[in-house]
Structure 1
């Protein structure tokens, strides 16, 4: 399977700006982007919710950038390969956000369903951050964890 936008020439900056235009067009009232280490962040507020996407960026030292089938790449060639991978990820993020917002706008889905994992909770963690460990545990043990405490005996556990 071929990666979406694997050969894109659209810059990271243009993709970020496009994401900002997309969320604004669909009704966002706040937007921010930032980066650090090997990740980038896009966040926006819409429909009374804060949404955050953390985009893992590839490590420049990965062998797929520093080497090819005939051996080591020159530093400038390795940088070019890494930049291409970054552009691809940003294009994919723009596609995902646009598709989710269009699904909501078209009545195919509802906002919370499309962005559930990326909704920021009052403590700063996302719903996905909170739920992922429980999902993993449920599959490992084949038991569902209680979503609420057991009040069947009339007292708090």
Structure 2
């Protein structure tokens, strides 16, 4: 298990609310929140951009055994899962606070700090769009075309 906030007592819901309050304090608006099995999403608007963070959450099935390999009771399994979820929400709060503060004090600009999480017109994020291109560039050793429409020569 990750070490940051691994023993936190702060409920996931409290961390989510703290994220929203922090975002409001820095000027964000238009909030969204959703959960599904194994993930949560926080979305907001800021500086004319829509942003979303997908938070991977553990599944309860991952906690059937203790770290020493013994079977957990149902309650123990739930408690371990809940602790792991609380840890991840605290870590997301830390990430968002750090990014917002970096922008606020001029270390970085909003688009640079939140680039991977900015939503594109098709609903995906810049990160989702770019990761395959980065992988391709490294595996082939070539850069993608800057203007792919002009690759064929004539149009």
1:72-92 Cα offsets, whole Å, 9 max, x none, are 111110110000000000000
Across the aligned residues of Structure 1 and Structure 2, the Cα RMSD in angstroms comes to 1.8
Q: 5+ unaligned residues in a row in structure 1: which ranges?
A: none
Counterparts of 1:128 and 1:114 in 2: how far apart (Å)? 12
- CA drift of 1:66 comes to 1.2
1:35-94 Cα offsets, whole Å, 9 max, x none, are 0121100000000000000111101111xx211215111111011000000000000000
Provide the residue aligned with 2:39 in structure 1: 39
Q: 5+ unaligned residues in a row in structure 2: which ranges?
A: none
Q: TM-score w.r.t. structure 2 length?
A: 0.93
The 5 A counterparts of 1:1-150 are 3-62=3-62, 65-68=63-66, 69-149=68-148
- CA drift of 1:31 comes to 1.0
Counterparts of 2:60 and 2:92 in 1: how far apart (Å)? 20
Matched positions, count: 154
| Contact 2:44/2:52 (8 A) holds in 1 | yes
| Contact 2:145/2:151 (8 A) holds in 1 | no
- CA drift of 1:141 comes to 1.5
Counterparts of 2:95 and 2:122 in 1: how far apart (Å)? 25
